[in-house]
Amino acid sequence: MINSLMQSLKLLAFLLGVPFGFALLLQWIGSGIRKSGVSRLGNAYWYLVSPGVACHETGHALGCLLTFCRITKFVPFRIGEDGTLGYVMHESKSGWKGAVSNLVIATGPIWFGCIVIVGLTKLFTGTATVANYGDYFSNDALPGFLDYIWACFKSSKSLLFSLSGDAFSSWWLAALWFCLVFCVASEIGLSDVDVASMWKGLLCVVAVLLLSGMIPVVRDWYASGLHALLPQLFLVHSLMAFAVLVDAVLLLLMRLFVRR
């Protein structure tokens, strides 16, 4: 029983713990960026990062489409008197279906933001962003959790350094890529409203995975599925780590800029 529980917890750590940990970290760093940006530029800062805000709200809208929740109003960017920058209004479902739908909708900015970063890199450099799982781990066994997190950051650091060389055909393309990626990365995190709306769905998913993981056949199926998915998950997690690095660098630069 204890072994089954530990295996289920390890599964949850890779599937949910890593992305939500990165998402909360992005939200924390993003909050610092917003405070620094607004203190220096006022509302002009929000117009500067408006592509990222629109990307964030589009992620929510796509989450609605994936869960078949009808969108009643979609505002990708508009500075409201109440401080909102954009929003998606949609129909609500009841019960566990509504909870899971809210989870998918709330996390839309995470997975959609990663897709946009890959697309921008492909567009500006001609090659897609690649984080090769095989460069860090073998497929024989699941890696250690902390080793996996460290590998995500190592992969994202390598990506950042590779893009600083001859990846771009001109300096202005590199500057435009960086500005757009900064906009997306700075708004990829979950807002307080997103976090509040996703918890019931997250608890439902955790409960199902934990309980079903107690069944040996299901646990083995989960384990084999995780082995097959981990290289793809590593790409997503590395992109989130990359967004964390970009945000951290920008926060440092903005703090220095504000102090001057």
74, β-bridge pairs: 88
Q: What pLDDT is attached to residue 55? A: 93
Dihedral sign computed on CA atoms, order 159, 162, 164, 168: negative
Domain ranges for the chain, please list them: 2-129+139-259
User: Among candidates 125, 153, 148, 131, which has minimal Cα distance to 246?
Assistant: 153
For residue 128, which amino acid is it?
A
Q: What pLDDT is attached to residue 258? A: 57
Residue 234 and residue 133 in contact, taking contact as beta carbons nearer than 8 Å? yes
- Measured in residues, the chain has a length of 260
Residue 96 and residue 134 in contact, taking contact as beta carbons nearer than 8 Å? no
Integer-rounded Cα Rg, in Å, for the chain is: 19
pTM for the structure as a whole: 0.81
Q: What pLDDT is attached to residue 187? A: 85
Q: What pLDDT is attached to residue 58? A: 95
Q: What pLDDT is attached to residue 61? A: 94
| 7-10 own/partner pairs: CB under 8 Å, 24+ apart | 7/213, 7/219, 7/222, 7/223, 8/209, 8/210, 8/213, 8/214, 8/219, 8/222, 9/210, 10/142, 10/145
pLDDT by 10-residue block (mean), the chain, 260 residues: 66 81 84 81 85 93 92 90 84 85 89 85 74 79 85 82 70 84 82 82 82 72 75 84 82 70
Dihedral sign computed on CA atoms, order 190, 192, 194, 195: positive
